[in-house]
Chains A and B, each alone.
Chain A
Amino acid sequence: MAQRAVSINGVLRGLVPWAGAIVSALLVLLCLGTVLAVFLRAESAAQFSRSDWVAVRFTVTQAFLSALLSVVLAIPVARALARREFRGRHTMIALLGAPFILPVIVAILGLLAVFGRTGVFSIVLGWFGLPPVQIYGLHGVVLAHVFFNLPLAVRFLLQGWAAIPAEHFRLVASLGGGPRDVGRLLERPMLWRVLPGTFALIFLICTTSFAVALALGGGPKATTVELAIYQAFRFDFDLSKAALLAVVQLVLSGSAAIAAWKFSRQHDAGQGLDRVVQRYDRAHGRLADAAWLGFVVLLLGLPLVMVVMQGAAGFLSMPASVWAAAGRSLLVALASTCLAVTFGLALSLWLARLRGAPRALGEMVAYLTVAVSPLVMGAGLFILIFPFASPRDWALPITALVNAAMALPFVTRALMPAVEACEAEYGPLAESLRLRSWARLRYLTLPRLRRPIGFVAGLAAALSMGDLGVVALFADPEQATLPLKLYDLMGAYRMEAAAGAGLLLMGLSFGLFYLFDRGGRMNASV
């Protein structure tokens, strides 16, 4: 028995260096194997119909408009943030990070409360005798995407501004240059460098959008490819159509991903955002800057405030099933977090040792899920599991797995620099002391990477907590996660209960992020 335990231990130890390779194989299987599974299971080749074509066109149009509006609006906002010093600047930059971990369905709840038929905005319009706005359709989808991606664009541009050396501003000022010259000599070149990558990234994010289209789109004219996949699978169980659309989606977001990758290599994770650029043209445009900052605070803040206000009112009228759904969501989120962190760590440690072409290939695999539809992944897993067990029994584990895979690009991106720094600084010492596999993980990697691990665990947990994607495919009412439950409540026009559930979901997502991120920082010595 002891002999056996030793050998299993030995096998596990042998696996550690290969963990990253195993994870990437799993990812390839999840991303491409599932598409293949859907393909093989399809009985006949589907025809590319008119409505599919409409879906492709709608996907591209809304993604283009969303990306364009996001980056165009981000320019004056980022410039205002870069050159103004004011109380609450720090809070505002933090607020810009919030949409990333805000559940999509909660944001939609908030946007409906502001821009819906009976929302604040329509009421104000009514005072002037104007008809209420209509949020469903193309402009609703674009509005929601701008809500999520404008902050992202602002953060990227703010990094661009922060990267302009202070000396350059001094130089232009000393040469007698005004705001116009600063723009021409410093800001415009920076924007040309940063904007294409930012645009491409947002375009990519918007092409894979599902929950926004599910809630605000719909109808033959406002269906994204992702939504069409969902409908083909869930309503028609038309696997050949789902497979065809899956390939379309792969090509679409794959090309967007390649463009984003080509343009955005110089971006680094948020550093130096707190620094106000010292510059000499401050007297200029003070009012305009204030207006732009006010606009963003309103756009981001108002929906969130509405969620809190309406949610507090509806908190007591929530059915018990909401709490059960919250419990399931928590379990899924925690499982997904464990998977995402384990996968991400294994991948990063493996990638850090590779060089040249294998490294580029490995990184591509790590970021593969950016371009792949989680719905196709779910559908493929459904088909693979079907012969052995009832997929519905596996809905939650599959959701956790797919969520982890979807979080992996962000997790890997945040972990890689920390892993590389740790290896560069302490790798030789660890080597010379024969610190390997488990011991190395325990005494070097995990303690050194506490902070980034806490951060990415928070990201993964919040993303999984708020995810409304693959779980919708399998949706059994008694297995619903909280976002799905919330969507059902909205669909049944139980708006009070929905508002309460929305507040609960937002609180859980932000709470999970806060706890993990804090946990990484606590007692982290040196």
Chain B
Amino acid sequence: MLRFENVVLEQGDFRLTADFTLEAGTQAALIGPSGAGKSTLLSAIAGFLEPSKGVIRWQRESLSGVPPGDRPMSILFQDNNLFPHLTVAQNVGLGLRPDLRLSKAETAQVTETLARVRLAEKADEKPASLSGGQNARVAIARLMLRAKPLLLLDEPFAALGPALKSEMLELVSTLAAETDATLVMVSHDPDDARRIANETVLVAEGVAHPPKPTETLLAHPPAVLAAYLGH
């Protein structure tokens, strides 16, 4: 489980508190107005921002001071998820070994994973020659290979257009379900939350509220969420 114990995040004047638990295997959405701190909360889980107070725990272990690369998670950012100067296969291979000294078996694993996302023939191309959707699948292939128990999505598919975005979210959600991974995703779109997330965390007015079942929350939104959703 992912536990926030009296966590306070601060960036300049900005302040966000969080005190709740997400059970392992949950697929949760973070929803709330722009600038409320959804991405900030995600970067704290990922280790790019240390809480000024409190502890974030994964399976009872404190994550304090653990560098991002050593945390049990994979993250997809809003952009820059692939290195444009490396090939597709190299970008995926980095998920196995950051120094890219892949054994034969590991190379085979990369090829196999690329085939799973239907990009086998693009292995030696650079991201620039692929479409947006294909690039998203390269990043997802790397998620598969890393096989971490915690998946964080900071709206990585926002630029793709509605249909493709849903398709990619479904792909990640299926992956999380297959591997019993916990998924935490930032979302602007209540429909995404409904489709993917069984739980939703409302982030608003400086507080990340304890998770509620998505349907319940969206059916009876608190005032601040109602205002955001435009009800």
Interface residues of A (CB under 8 A from B): 425-426, 428-429, 431-436, 438-440, 442-444, 447-448, 525-526
Interface string of B60-99 (1 = CB under 8 A from A): 0000000111100111010011011110001000110011
Given A439-B99, A439-B100, A443-B90: A431 and B83 interface contact (C-beta under 8 Å): no
Q: How far is the CA of A434 from the CA of B46 in the complex (A)?
A: 12
Given A429-B80, A431-B48: A436 and B69 interface contact (C-beta under 8 Å): yes
Partner of B67, one of A425, A431, A439, A442: A431
Q: How far is the CA of A428 from the CA of B47 in the complex (A)?
A: 10
User: Do residues B94 and A433 form an inter-chain contact, with CB atoms below 8 A?
Assistant: yes
Within the complex, the shortest CB–CB distance from A14 to chain B, in Å, comes to 15
User: Do residues A432 and B80 form an inter-chain contact, with CB atoms below 8 A?
Assistant: no
User: Do residues A425 and B95 form an inter-chain contact, with CB atoms below 8 A?
Assistant: no
User: Across the two chains, which residue of chain B brings its CB closest to A526?
Assistant: B84
User: Across the two chains, which residue of chain B brings its CB closest to A426?
Assistant: B80
User: Do residues B126 and A433 form an inter-chain contact, with CB atoms below 8 A?
Assistant: no
Q: How far is the CA of A442 from the CA of B46 in the complex (A)?
A: 24
Within the complex, the shortest CB–CB distance from A297 to chain B, in Å, comes to 40
Tell me if B160 is interfacial: C-beta within 8 Å of chain A. no
Partner of B80, one of A425, A433, A439: A425
User: Do residues B46 and A432 form an inter-chain contact, with CB atoms below 8 A?
Assistant: yes
**Residues in A neighbouring B84, C-beta threshold 8 A:** 525-526
Within the complex, the shortest CB–CB distance from B198 to chain A, in Å, comes to 25
Tell me if B128 is interfacial: C-beta within 8 Å of chain A. yes
User: Do residues B83 and A432 form an inter-chain contact, with CB atoms below 8 A?
Assistant: no
Q: Which residue among B46, B84, B128 has the maximum number of chain A CB atoms within 10 Å of its CB?
A: B84
**Residues in B neighbouring A425, C-beta threshold 8 A:** 80
A–B pairs, 19, beta carbons within 8 Å: A431-B69, A432-B73, A433-B69, A433-B94, A433-B95, A434-B67, A435-B69, A440-B98, A443-B83, A443-B86, A443-B90, A443-B98, A443-B100, A447-B83, A448-B83, A448-B85, A525-B126, A526-B127, A526-B128
Partner of A447, one of B47, B74, B85, B94: B85
Count of chain B residues with Cβ under 8 Å from any Cβ of A?
A: 26
User: Do residues B98 and A432 form an inter-chain contact, with CB atoms below 8 A?
Assistant: no
Given A426-B80, A428-B68, A447-B86: A435 and B98 interface contact (C-beta under 8 Å): yes
**Residues in B neighbouring A429, C-beta threshold 8 A:** 77, 80-81, 83
Partner of B69, one of A432, A438, A443: A432
Q: How far is the CA of A420 from the CA of B67 in the complex (A)?
A: 20
Instruction: Identify which of residues 36-76 in chain B touch chain A, using a CB-to-CB cut-off of 8 Å.
Output: 46-48, 67-70, 73-75
User: Do residues B83 and A426 form an inter-chain contact, with CB atoms below 8 A?
Assistant: yes
Given A428-B77, A429-B80: A439 and B86 interface contact (C-beta under 8 Å): no
**Residues in B neighbouring A443, C-beta threshold 8 A:** 83, 86, 90, 94, 98, 100
Given A428-B48, A439-B98, A447-B86: A434 and B81 interface contact (C-beta under 8 Å): no
User: Across the two chains, which residue of chain A brings its CB closest to B90?
Assistant: A443
User: Do residues A526 and B94 form an inter-chain contact, with CB atoms below 8 A?
Assistant: no
Within the complex, the shortest CB–CB distance from A201 to chain B, in Å, comes to 35
Within the complex, the shortest CB–CB distance from A420 to chain B, in Å, comes to 14
User: Do residues B81 and A438 form an inter-chain contact, with CB atoms below 8 A?
Assistant: no
Q: Which residue among A426, A429, A432, A438 has the maximum number of chain B CB atoms within 10 Å of its CB?
A: A432
**Residues in A neighbouring B67, C-beta threshold 8 A:** 431, 434
User: Do residues A435 and B94 form an inter-chain contact, with CB atoms below 8 A?
Assistant: yes
Q: How far is the CA of A444 from the CA of B90 in the complex (A)?
A: 12
Given A428-B48, A431-B48, A432-B69: A444 and B83 interface contact (C-beta under 8 Å): yes
**Residues in A neighbouring B68, C-beta threshold 8 A:** 428, 431-432
Q: How far is the CA of A432 from the CA of B75 in the complex (A)?
A: 7
User: Do residues A438 and B83 form an inter-chain contact, with CB atoms below 8 A?
Assistant: no
User: Do residues A525 and B80 form an inter-chain contact, with CB atoms below 8 A?
Assistant: no
Within the complex, the shortest CB–CB distance from A137 to chain B, in Å, comes to 54
**Residues in B neighbouring A526, C-beta threshold 8 A:** 84-85, 126-128
User: Do residues A525 and B46 form an inter-chain contact, with CB atoms below 8 A?
Assistant: no
Within the complex, the shortest CB–CB distance from A97 to chain B, in Å, comes to 27
User: Do residues A433 and B98 form an inter-chain contact, with CB atoms below 8 A?
Assistant: yes
Excluding A439-B98, A443-B100, 5 further A-B contacts by CB distance (< 8 Å) are A426-B80, A434-B67, A434-B70, A448-B83, A525-B84
Within the complex, the shortest CB–CB distance from A521 to chain B, in Å, comes to 14
User: Do residues B126 and A432 form an inter-chain contact, with CB atoms below 8 A?
Assistant: no
Q: How far is the CA of A321 from the CA of B85 in the complex (A)?
A: 45
Partner of A434, one of B80, B98, B100: B98
User: Do residues B69 and A525 form an inter-chain contact, with CB atoms below 8 A?
Assistant: no
Given A443-B86, A526-B85: A436 and B77 interface contact (C-beta under 8 Å): no
**Residues in A neighbouring B73, C-beta threshold 8 A:** 432
**Residues in B neighbouring A440, C-beta threshold 8 A:** 98
Within the complex, the shortest CB–CB distance from A523 to chain B, in Å, comes to 10
Within the complex, the shortest CB–CB distance from B134 to chain A, in Å, comes to 16
Within the complex, the shortest CB–CB distance from B71 to chain A, in Å, comes to 8
Q: How far is the CA of A439 from the CA of B77 in the complex (A)?
A: 21
**Residues in A neighbouring B81, C-beta threshold 8 A:** 429
Q: How far is the CA of A439 from the CA of B80 in the complex (A)?
A: 18
**Residues in B neighbouring A426, C-beta threshold 8 A:** 80, 83
**Residues in A neighbouring B77, C-beta threshold 8 A:** 428-429
Instruction: Identify which of residues 91-138 in chain B touch chain A, using a CB-to-CB cut-off of 8 Å.
Output: 94-95, 98-100, 126-128
Within the complex, the shortest CB–CB distance from A173 to chain B, in Å, comes to 40
**Residues in B neighbouring A435, C-beta threshold 8 A:** 69, 94, 98
Q: How far is the CA of A460 from the CA of B73 in the complex (A)?
A: 43
User: Across the two chains, which residue of chain A brings its CB closest to B69?
Assistant: A434
Within the complex, the shortest CB–CB distance from A445 to chain B, in Å, comes to 11
User: Across the two chains, which residue of chain B brings its CB closest to A446?
Assistant: B85
User: Do residues B128 and A525 form an inter-chain contact, with CB atoms below 8 A?
Assistant: yes
User: Across the two chains, which residue of chain A brings its CB closest to B139?
Assistant: A429
Within the complex, the shortest CB–CB distance from A450 to chain B, in Å, comes to 8
Q: How far is the CA of A432 from the CA of B68 in the complex (A)?
A: 5
**Residues in A neighbouring B69, C-beta threshold 8 A:** 431-436
Given A426-B83, A443-B83, A526-B126: A432 and B90 interface contact (C-beta under 8 Å): no
User: Do residues A432 and B74 form an inter-chain contact, with CB atoms below 8 A?
Assistant: yes
Within the complex, the shortest CB–CB distance from B47 to chain A, in Å, comes to 8
User: Across the two chains, which residue of chain B brings its CB closest to A425?
Assistant: B80
Q: How far is the CA of A447 from the CA of B90 in the complex (A)?
A: 13
**Residues in A neighbouring B99, C-beta threshold 8 A:** 438-439, 442
Within the complex, the shortest CB–CB distance from A55 to chain B, in Å, comes to 52
**Residues in A neighbouring B85, C-beta threshold 8 A:** 447-448, 525-526
User: Across the two chains, which residue of chain A brings its CB closest to B100?
Assistant: A443
- Smallest CB-CB A-B distances: 7 pairs: A434-B69, A447-B85, A526-B84, A439-B99, A431-B68, A435-B98, A434-B98
Within the complex, the shortest CB–CB distance from B164 to chain A, in Å, comes to 21
User: Across the two chains, which residue of chain A brings its CB closest to B148?
Assistant: A432
**Residues in B neighbouring A448, C-beta threshold 8 A:** 83, 85
**Residues in A neighbouring B94, C-beta threshold 8 A:** 433, 435, 443
User: Do residues A436 and B98 form an inter-chain contact, with CB atoms below 8 A?
Assistant: yes
